[in-house]
Structure 1
Amino acid sequence: MVIGTHHGKFHADEVFAVAMLKQLYPDARIVRSREPEVLSQCDIIVDVGRGEYDHHTTDKVFRENGLPYASAGLVWRDFGTKVVRHLGCNEENSDSLTDIIDEKLIQAIDAIDNGIDLEKDARIKGVSELVGGFNPPWNSDADENFAFQDAVSFATQILVNQIKSEIGRIEATAVVKEAYEHRSDKALLVLDTFCPWTDTLFELDVNSEVLYVIFPDRSGEYRLQVVPKSLGSFEARKPLPESWAGTEGDELNALTGADDAVFCHPARFIAGAKSLTTILHMAKLALNE
């Protein structure tokens, strides 16, 4: 397998396109050129050559939402489902996960390369800027092809992390639903394992009943976390008590009447304790305040 793309300054769209293809063809050789006779020897060509994975034409291909594809999106459209299955997603969820990755990551990359400003994806814009930063400076004699390979490695890690994170979120859905349906206190969601809960909770909790979530963390301690007013917001439905803000250990124990409270973040969005008994006690205090 030989993957072709253009030489010269590279951008996030072709870097991510190559990173996607390398998941499926890890031994593929990358050729960077604009010469037709060189590109004609490639099996797949991205972002150059006027082929199916080059968006530099006046006859652009558009998504249903009106956003034009760049090379990353075109490759993801055709290979994304295979990539997510390769990384562990089951067949039942693979199509929906492919769409989720496109919406959360790929569309913003495509928009930037097509000169479209997506205000809602401002956080993702940094990804394109960081990938672009792998280009050698104008006054450097660094090898451009080595820089491109470094950028592909960086993009690969971002892509793989995003996919595995979304697979984890999907697999956690049943855990969150079970805990939600068996709440003893409507305002408190208690999870028996650490897992992603935010998206699923917002789908279930249409009346905004849950104010706090309790879960064990990876260290074996327990956490009490606020539920935000909306996805992506830092504003809580009910912040933790103001008197707890920034306190730790003995000071927090004195405030709560506990003996193994660990901390409360100064922003009052999360607190910790060593035992489930104490974190439940702290949750009740916070709910009653």
Structure 2
Amino acid sequence: MSEPVSKKLKLDSEMLRICTHSGSFHADESLAVYLLKSLKKYADAEVVRSRDPAQWEEADIVVDVSGKYDGEKFFDHHQREFDEVFSADYKTKLSSAGLVYKHFGKEIISEKLNLSLSDAKQALQIDLLYLKIYKDFVEALDANDNGINNYAADIKPNFHDKNITLPSIVSHLNPSWNTNPTDADYDRQFHKASALMGEVFMNLLDGYGNGWLPARTIVEDAFNARFDVDPSGKIMVLDQFCPWKEHLYCIEKEADKENEILYVLFGDSSGAWRISTVSLTSTSFQNRKALPEPWRGIRDDALSQLTGVPGCIFVHAAGFIGGAKTREAVIQLAKMSI
């Protein structure tokens, strides 16, 4: 006699179990477990913390313990022969956080931002976020857990910052050694650590998905329309202001057009328009081409008379930015500056 459907579904949900090791915990498995639990499939899964191989075998997925990695059930990185990295572009050996992110990151991004992996445009957006979050966040956790320094060991730090890093904050959530902690004490604190790591990750994903990604779209559209502004293709007009520098460098590189754009134009909060030069690098004070020297430090009507462009507001004395009252005016200034 077959089991009732409702009972079978209940039993299937009860079978889902995530296992990680018991005892003291670290940032990597704290995040790895949260990432799995963030997926619809594992949302109701039981988290078991154990070093008992029998518990590993009973679990549906095993994280940061077992000495095995197969990309399906076992996600440990402590075995001697382990040398997995995120991709050929990286040298940092993965931790349990990196392993889980590598295999489930795109699915997590898809679910949390309601982007479809089957839609070509949205799949490309997922890929961009997947790579950026690894580079900007997960890789550092992998490196920390595997004892990889970010700089040469002989460099003396100017100050100590270990107690303000996420791995150290998680470490301090472990029960104190002299309180005779039980497994239950460790488990309770582990869930706090996992929630902390998860909140940081999800805040980052939300910021990138709802801020960084839309900004890239605006910059990419402006870059593709650059020849509509001027035949030189060296002027870019943003339809809406957004953080644009990081995106411009990446888009130029992807298009094999590095150093293409000299001036970026955008509206400001007052309703006026700005003309900005483009820095040589994201951290450089030098730009690709400064605004003309005779304009620098000149304002308002005096600047309009000097340039012959009505509605000028200013050009900074350093020549890296200027302003005018209309879009047409800053376009004229940019064309003259080329």
1:48 to 48, 62, 65: 65
8 Å contact 1:136–1:147 — kept in the other structure? no
In structure 1, what is the Cα distance between the partners aligned to 2:133 and 2:39? 17
Within-5 A mapping of 1:60-79: 60-63=82-85, 64=88, 65-79=90-104
Displacement of 1:83 in angstroms is: 2.1
Among 8, 14, 17, which residue is 2:32 paired with? 17
Q: Does 1:133 align with 2:166?
A: no
Query: Is it true that 1:81 corresponds to 2:106 in the alignment?
Result: yes
1:201 counterpart SS class: helix
* Aligned counterparts of 2:259 and 2:75: Cα–Cα separation in 1: 44
Q: 1:112 to 1:254 in 2, by over 3 A?
A: farther
Choose which of 194, 197, 213 in structure 2 pairs with 1:151. 197
Using the alignment, how far apart are the partners of 1:190 and 1:109 within structure 2? Answer: 38
Contact residue 244 and residue 255 of structure 1 kept, 8 A: no
Q: Distance in 1 between matches of 2:116 and 2:212?
A: 9
| 5+ long unaligned stretches in structure 1 | 120-124
Partner secondary structure for residue 276 of structure 2:
strand
**Cα deviation code 1:68-109 (max 9, x no counterpart):** 221122112211221232222554335743345434443333
Which of residues 240, 246, 251 in structure 2 aligns to 1:193?
240
SS in 1 for 2:229: coil
The 8 Å contact of residues 228 and 234 in structure 1, kept in 2 or not, is answered as yes
Match of 2:143 among 94, 97, 111: 111
Deviates more, 1:207-216 or 1:142-151: 142-151
Distance 2:44 2:315 in 1: 50
With the length of structure 2 as denominator, give the TM-score of the two structures: 0.62
TM-superposed CA distance for 1:3, in Å, is 3.6
Q: Give the Cα–Cα distance (whole angstroms) in 1 for the partners of residues 25 and 206 of structure 2.
A: 24
Partners of 1:47 and 1:54 within 8 A in 2: yes
What is the aligned residue count?
275
Matched residue type, 1:27 = A
Counterpart in the other structure of 1:227? 278
1 CA distance for matches of 2:256 and 2:265? Answer: 16
The equivalent of 1:122 in structure 2 is none
Pick from 261, 264, 284: which aligns with 1:210?
A: 261
Say if 2:263 and 2:277, in contact at 8 Å, map to a contact too: yes
Deviation of 1:158 after TM superposition, in Å, equals 1.7
Deviation readout 1:30-89 (Å, 9 max, x if unpaired) = 747344266666543322343421212212132335432211221122112212322225
Q: Show the counterpart of 1:27.
A: 43
Q: Normalising to structure 1: TM-score of the pair?
A: 0.70
8 Å Cα contact 1:60-1:69 kept in structure 2: no
For 1:193, the aligned partner's letter is Q
Structure exhibiting the larger radius of gyration computed from Cα positions: 2
Higher mean alpha-carbon deviation, 109-118 vs 34-43, is at: 34-43
**AA in 2 matched with 1:85:** S
Is the CA contact (8 Å cut-off) linking 1:55 and 1:70 kept in structure 2?
yes
Of 75-84 and 89-98, the range deviating more from structure 2: 89-98
Residue 9 of structure 2: aligned partner: none
**Stretch deviating more after TM superposition (85-94 or 139-148):** 139-148
CA contact (8 A) 2:75 2:100 kept: yes
| 1:99-125 per-position Cα deviation (integer Å, ceiling 9, x unaligned) | 454344433332232122355xxxxx9
Instruction: Report the Cα offset of residue 211 of structure 1.
Output: 1.0
Q: Which runs of 5+ in 2 are unaligned?
A: 1-15, 69-73, 152-160, 180-184, 305-309
2:300 is matched with which residue: 253, 276, 287?
Answer: 253
Q: Which stretch of structure 1 is more off in the superposition, 47-56 or 251-260? A: 251-260
**Residues 1:47 and 1:253: Cα distance change in structure 2 (over 3 Å):** farther
Distance in 2, matches of 1:9 and 1:267, equals 52
Equivalent position amino acid for 1:190 in 2: V
